[in-house]
Amino acid sequence: MPELPEVETIRRDLQSEVVGRKIKTVEVRNGRTVRRHQSAKHFRARLEGHTLKSIDRAGKYLLLGLEDGQTLVVHLGMSGQLQRAKNVKVAKAPHTHVVITFTQGGQLRFVDPRTFGELFVSAAPEDGQPALPELSHLGFDPLEDVMSWEKFWVLLAARKSGLKALLMDQEFVAGIGNLYADEILFAAGLRYDRLSNSLSSQEVRRLYRAMVETLAEAVKRRGSSLADEQYRDLFGEVGDYQDQHQAYDREGQACRRCRATIVKVKSGGRSTYFCDHCQV
């Protein structure tokens, strides 16, 4: 599943590619992709004729702001991709479920083989009402919501949860999934099952720094594309951060820090990769 670094990479590409473009037509080829709307026609009517004014991100969600205050929300799910086609004659990829055509030419296409992703339009907020109530459950953003390590410590101490489970809890911190949780915990030298309220002040500082630095470096390298290459950026290119992975998907290989062997266990129904020697 694309996580925060992959979604942020796409956000930055969209910023330069589609802001200021007016939507001419919207084609929905699979109604499941717009399932929050009463019909594909209803979804199309909320977008056609409007101009994209801003591109933001909330965790793993892309937020495409329209000039009338509405927001097109995109969640890539397990296998979703956004593709920028500058020529409408370019053949559409299999599993292309939504096609947005711009008046100035070109298209934005949503491709999703497994159909877990979705697109929906959130109404403009009324006076006194919060924006994007559909995403009100999300926790803090580890790249956008800068905080002191002391505040982070308070948040951790308020929970009694295994560290990996907590990092993946979107209501605690938005955007981190299985892959980056393993990488962050390796960088911090902490086990996946350490309780969040058991950390020393030094360990909290290490964890906060590892979280911010790991995600920032992954964004710099345009995200991770694994063997299936399901994640590709807006232009169809793979990411580069997978070559820097320290723990994730490295079972049986030597730890790059202590030369012990990276092991894999099942935790919470997911595979977890870590070094049993230098993560404590």
Q: Which residues are catalytic?
A: 2-3, 60, 270
Rounded-to-integer distance, Cα 220 and Cα 9, Å: 8
Name the amino acid, one letter, at 230. Q
Residues 6+ apart with CB under 8 A from 88: 101, 105, 106, 107
Strands 107-111 and 118-122: what pairing? unpaired
Residue 157 corresponds to which tokens in the numbers above? 């101490």
Taking alpha carbons only, the member of 158, 186, 180, 157 closest to residue 167 is 180
DSSP structure string for 61-116:
EEEEEETTS-EEEEE-TTT-EEEEESSTTSPPPTTEEEEEEETTS-EEEEE-TT--
Residues 73/119, Cβ–Cβ less than 8 Å: yes
Task: Report how far apart the first and last C-alpha atoms of the chain are (Å, whole number).
Answer: 27
